[in-house]
Structure 1
Amino acid sequence: MAGIVDDVTVADLAPIAVRAAAPADVPLPIGTDGLTWRPLTRDDVPALARLITATEDADEAPYRTSAEEIDDEFDGDWKDHARDTLAGIDADGVIRAYARANQPPGDARVVRVFLDGAVDPQWRGRGIGRQVLEWENARGRQLLAASGKELPARLAVFVHDNADATIRLVRAGGFTPARFYAEMRRPLDVELPPVVVPEGLRIVPWSAELDEQLRLAHNEAFADHWGSEPRTAQEWVQGRSMFAPTWSFAAIDDATGEVAGYLMSARFEHDWPLLGYKAGYTDLLGVRRAWRGRRLGEALLATVMAAYRADGMDMAELGVDTANQSGAHRLYEGLGYAVFHSSTLFSIEL
């Protein structure tokens, strides 16, 4: 029987190589005020951090991407940085623009390429961003075609909703809004919800010994979530420079020893001066289907709020897909979280 993924019957799709319409070659940007172009390397992390901070300042983002997080992006042996990244260098050797394309290897329902890039605010308005996006689009199509996965395909760009110029750019490039996300926060200097753990379960601290079980639990819990794909073991541990083990938990079924749910936190300490408060960030929260409907998600959130407050945090924060059918948005609102920022996933569906 033909598989159905994201309301698309896979058997009805043209071959991925046809849909991707990948060019044989990806030309470098031209006529860009003397910028020269080359791939990014790990040695570029400090310069790339300066550029990304400048763009986040200009766009009034409520966060700043740290050098450690940028360095994380060079992890993953599935990535070909020589072909999947680009840096525009001025005459003084300063990076003024960059681009990246990433095709996660675990994709099993929709094959995706995430596109990421920026132009120094001082160099905007010269047509560089348009050419950078064209390069990303072309390289992304090559990656989709090379995946060989006969699945629905997506080119995706995340844009926070303050970045008006970037929104105009991606719309002009043929991308349309596909999904909307909200950042939410809750003060911790008011009464916290009680930790009521469902009968037969216990909540334990994260440990390295549990981590593979948590990955498998995550893949199962998010199998019915739009835009989520299984994570390989390498993907699961990639990008953990901000991971906060002491703020991360697993819910264990006493009868079977299985992981029923989990909560993983991050500590973005470099953002606290910008925010004006200290926050614990809930990065991942999931409950496996067999244990849903027992308020386990609420128990995990109550547990982590208490941990955040015990460590002197002022706020609990998290992000949510506003169209999440699991009712996560309502759960968070019921626990006192309120939206303070939003972003949009723009995509080209193939």
Structure 2
Amino acid sequence: MTPRAPSGTVSRMPETTQTPATTTGARSLAERAAAPATLPEPDRAATGLTWRALTRADVPVLAALVARVEDADAQPFRTSEVEVGEGFDGDWKDPARDTRVGLDADGVPRAWITVDAPPGDVRVVRVWLGGGVDPAWRGRGIGRALLAWATARARQKLAESGKDAPGRIAAFLEDHRADALALHAAAGFAPIRYFTDMRRDLSRPLPEPRPLDGVRIVPWSPDLDEAVRLAHNEAFADHWGSEPRTAAHWQQGRAMFAPQWSHVAVDEATGEVAGYTLSGRYEHDWAVAGFTSGYTELLGVRRAWRGRGLAPALLTAAMTSFRADGMQYAELDVDTENPSGAHGLYASLGYEVTHGAVMYTIEV
């Protein structure tokens, strides 16, 4: 199980390039989802745990469990208590129906699972799964029970969506987690996309800024944010795995957002947003990583402004901001199959691969 799936406990999720949607045939998504009438609730006798839904009051103890899991699994990041709390934000979320936590005899959480369906999906209706099992409680079938429950609940959510498009039940897994990969494979999931995290040493000289014809790069500001959201939805309309973000979804999961490191490319003639880069500051990762860094969350350029060098200019602006604040590295993630040449762009700017992740899915 992965605690950094975009299901609620985490915020870093790659936006990736779009391939043609799965062929659905004549049957509706509700039919294809094959949603069970009842869920396979984890068994107390078999697991040794008492099960219930998560609530916001669980955030401190859930964050402690997430920390134990991430430490034991040598995850290259850590999830803060604030990020865990953000998992409950969003009026589309229903923790009572879409989460489970297992408590031991002393009331200590030992395992959890979350299920989340972003509200704006139109091309592919996605349901994200995320969770984990306390290292001291592994080997008892708890992970299998949680994944079976979550997959069944995800099928219900697809059927309940009222949408008729390809469906996807998905989880992000770090590629060094052989146990998690095997668990998902045994449950019918298959790898569909691979991602790499990259970093750039900021002690090295940064690229020289190039003149941008008719476009200026300005700091991100709240009054530009809605235009940036709309630009993002347009820029990623043809990107695999990306779906439109509603205004509420756009605002969710921003505890680590670093406005001082975020930039917007504005067309001088029209005032339109041509591109953007939004950054995050994950200070709680730095002790694990062994260095300080700024993290590029999103980078996008609208189609009409592509081919003018905006992407490298925006990344250079971000790196300049990171370095001005004393950061040692710039970090980002990329889809290894991205046909736009993003991997090559990052490499040309000095980014190097550090580790990878896999998206495992059941296509519906």
TM-score, reference length from structure 1: 0.97
Whether contact under 8 Å (2:196, 2:355) holds in the other structure is: yes
Query: 2:363 corresponds to which residue?
Result: 349
Describe the SS at the equivalent of 1:162.
coil
Point out where structure 1 has 5 or more consecutive residues left out of the alignment.
none
| 1:340 aligns with one of 345, 351, 354 | 354
Whether contact under 8 Å (2:191, 2:358) holds in the other structure is: yes
Query: Do structure 1's residue 27 and structure 2's residue 40 form an aligned pair?
Result: yes
Describe the SS at the equivalent of 1:195.
coil
Query: Do structure 1's residue 109 and structure 2's residue 115 form an aligned pair?
Result: no
Distance 1:241 1:261 in 2: 22
Describe the SS at the equivalent of 1:202.
strand
Instruction: Read off the aligned partner of 1:176 and give its amino acid letter.
Output: A
Matched ranges for 1:1-350 at <5 A:
6-8=20-22, 12-30=25-43, 31-350=45-364
Whether contact under 8 Å (2:40, 2:148) holds in the other structure is: no
Distance 2:358 2:121 in 1: 21
Structure 1 stretch 311-320 or stretch 52-61: which is displaced more? 52-61
Write the deviation string for residues 203-261 of structure 1: whole angstroms up to 9, x where unpaired.
01111100000000000001111000000000001000000000001000001110000
Q: CA RMSD in A?
A: 1.2
Distance 2:292 2:301 in 1: 27
Whether contact under 8 Å (2:19, 2:239) holds in the other structure is: no
Structure 1 stretch 257-266 or stretch 45-54: which is displaced more? 45-54
Instruction: Read off the aligned partner of 2:51 and give its amino acid letter.
Output: W
Residue 273 of structure 1 deviates from its aligned partner by 1.0
Whether contact under 8 Å (1:112, 1:155) holds in the other structure is: yes
Instruction: Read off the aligned partner of 1:24 and give its amino acid letter.
Output: A
Instruction: Read off the aligned partner of 2:120 and give its amino acid letter.
Output: G
Distance 2:62 2:248 in 1: 24
Instruction: Read off the aligned partner of 2:318 and give its amino acid letter.
Output: V
Instruction: Read off the aligned partner of 1:34 and give its amino acid letter.
Output: G
Distance 2:19 2:329 in 1: 38
Query: 2:5 corresponds to which residue?
Result: none
Describe the SS at the equivalent of 1:138.
helix
Residue 197 of structure 1 deviates from its aligned partner by 4.2
Residue 34 of structure 1 deviates from its aligned partner by 2.4
- The structure with higher relative contact order (CA 8 Å, sep 6+) is 2
Which 4+ runs in 1 deviate beyond 2 A?
4-10, 31-34
Describe the SS at the equivalent of 1:184.
strand
Distance 2:40 2:200 in 1: 47
Describe the SS at the equivalent of 1:284.
strand
Describe the SS at the equivalent of 1:61.
coil
Residue 33 of structure 1 deviates from its aligned partner by 3.6
Instruction: Read off the aligned partner of 1:344 and give its amino acid letter.
Output: V
Residue 317 of structure 1 deviates from its aligned partner by 0.3
Report % sequence identity. 58
Whether contact under 8 Å (1:5, 1:152) holds in the other structure is: no
Distance 2:297 2:48 in 1: 41
Instruction: Read off the aligned partner of 1:14 and give its amino acid letter.
Output: R
Aligned residue pairs total 346
TM-score, reference length from structure 2: 0.93
Point out where structure 2 has 5 or more consecutive residues left out of the alignment.
1-17
Whether contact under 8 Å (1:13, 1:152) holds in the other structure is: no
Instruction: Read off the aligned partner of 1:22 and give its amino acid letter.
Output: A
Instruction: Read off the aligned partner of 1:15 and give its amino acid letter.
Output: S
Distance 2:23 2:51 in 1: 41
Instruction: Read off the aligned partner of 1:317 and give its amino acid letter.
Output: E
Change (3 A) 1:177 1:9: closer
Describe the SS at the equivalent of 2:319.
helix
Distance 2:353 2:101 in 1: 35
Whether contact under 8 Å (1:197, 1:203) holds in the other structure is: no
